[in-house]
Chains A and B, each alone.
Chain A
């Protein structure tokens, strides 16, 4: 499979979001790829509310089975969630379980006025009724379950897509 150019997708995603952001819009990236992406979008869109980040480790529905397999990095929501327009940002949308966990966590901080989801790639394979309002690329066919698509960042800060075969 030919991997898409991440930098081009980011530019397209920012363009799609631009007409819909206001002074009340805040981005919340999901660790780790989503935080890198949200950081870029935050700069491209010139948002004034500070960037938030969410680590969904503590809210995952497979916690009982898998445990805390990764080092949790914690969540930082440096703005008032109450009444805000929040866009949750993630690199790849797959089953929807990560988004569900992020939504649950977000609501423990307060009641946002509106929550949207922005992703670079929708790879299909949803297991929950979740869709992204902003999506730079929807794959025509769902990716096989054994494969994993994720954002990578090199030392210079450049972002690329990477395909991992489990």
Chain B
């Protein structure tokens, strides 16, 4: 069976997950993003690549940063961007997901950027488009349930490559709530595909998927063990809104054991970088002194995110 993300020529057709995406495509996206980062110095921050195309931001779940950076990326490529705040629209009146999609296709949509609380929703849309012969319409997953957040994973890889140049000699630690994190799943898929020899996950067992080791990572039960000599520390947000049941005693307790402080960061290599996908919970997973410190690359991540999303959309829009 063909990879549902690629067309018959092996080009990117939809971006749904980094799991199973060939290394060559991931590298191509990162390489394509590089010239887009230089656009900020220009008088006119616009390229004509998606001129005349309509990009629909379809957000069934709230997100400010991701939606905004997708919107900026699409607009810098000269696309028309339509933001649908689905929580206040027809879905509430009972319309199904695919009926919504069909209606937007009738409005000449060229691309859907989809955020959904259910894992697999973007995949369902992509499959529906394929089954109905609409191969010219593309889907970008902007985060679905606990499944994947591929553009976040890609911008993280771009950030790592920007600061560390290579992947094959790195030790990377992912810290926190891996269980509820689609970001962590996308990061792990990308890191292992790009050949990072050691990926560690650190956090309480209650916030780890069962048999997390099968994802190709090493589980570390303490910060001391996990942060030792790492090159990159990727913090995850404590997913308060996804938490049900007593997985944690309290946010304060979590910070005491798993929060990233300057003392714990000192265990990593002196030139280690600290990343966070945002939004940050200061004093829960990360201390302000670290978040604002000189090893943090959290704001560059946001800027690189625009270039990476431009790369993805321009590659999708080119066929």
Contact = CB atoms under 8 A, between A and B. Distances in A.
Contacts, number: 45
A72 B311 CA distance: 11
Contact of A108 (B32, B34, B38, B46): B46
Nearest to A111: B43
A67 B32 CA distance: 12
B35 A75 contact: yes
Interface in A104-144: 104, 107-110
A71 B315 CA distance: 11
Chain A: interface residue count, which band? 20 to 34
Given A59-B48, A108-B44, A67 B318 contact: yes
B166 interface: no
Given A58-B48, A64-B318, A67-B319, A110 B35 contact: no
A46 interface: no
B38 A74 contact: yes
A109 B318 contact: no
A76 to B, nearest CB: 8
Interface string A66-92: 111001111110000100000000000
A69 B315 CA distance: 10
A63 B32 CA distance: 14
Nearest to A82: B43
A68 B32 contact: yes
A83 to B, nearest CB: 13
Nearest to B38: A74
Interface in B1-42: 11, 28, 31-32, 34-35, 38, 42
Contact of A58 (B43, B44, B49, B319): B49
Contacts of A107: 44
A22 B42 CA distance: 25
Contacts of B47: 58-59
Contacts of A64: 318
A75 B32 contact: no
Given A59-B48, A108-B44, A67 B11 contact: yes
Given A68-B315, A71-B31, A110 B43 contact: yes
Contacts of A110: 43
B314 interface: yes
**Among A74, A76, A104, which residue has the most Cβ atoms of chain B within 10 A?**
A74
B305 to A, nearest CB: 18
A68 B43 contact: no
A100 B318 CA distance: 20
Contacts of A108: 42-44, 46
Given A59-B48, A108-B44, A75 B318 contact: no
A58 B315 CA distance: 11
A13 B48 CA distance: 33
B35 A55 contact: yes
A68 B318 contact: yes
B35 A72 contact: yes
Given A63-B318, A68-B315, A68-B318, A74 B34 contact: yes
Nearest to A110: B43
Interface in A38-62: 55, 58-59
A29 to B, nearest CB: 16
Contacts of B43: 81, 108-110
Contacts of B32: 68, 71-72
A63 B49 contact: yes
A19 B263 CA distance: 66
B37 to A, nearest CB: 9
A107 B46 CA distance: 11
B38 A75 contact: yes
Nearest to B33: A72
12 contacts: A55-B35, A58-B49, A58-B314, A64-B318, A67-B11, A67-B319, A71-B32, A74-B34, A74-B35, A74-B38, A107-B44, A110-B43
Given A68-B314, A71-B28, A109-B42, 5 more contacts: A58-B48, A63-B48, A67-B319, A74-B34, A75-B38
Q: Which 9 A/B pairs are nearest by Cβ-Cβ distance?
A: A74-B35, A67-B318, A108-B44, A58-B47, A72-B35, A110-B43, A67-B319, A74-B38, A109-B43
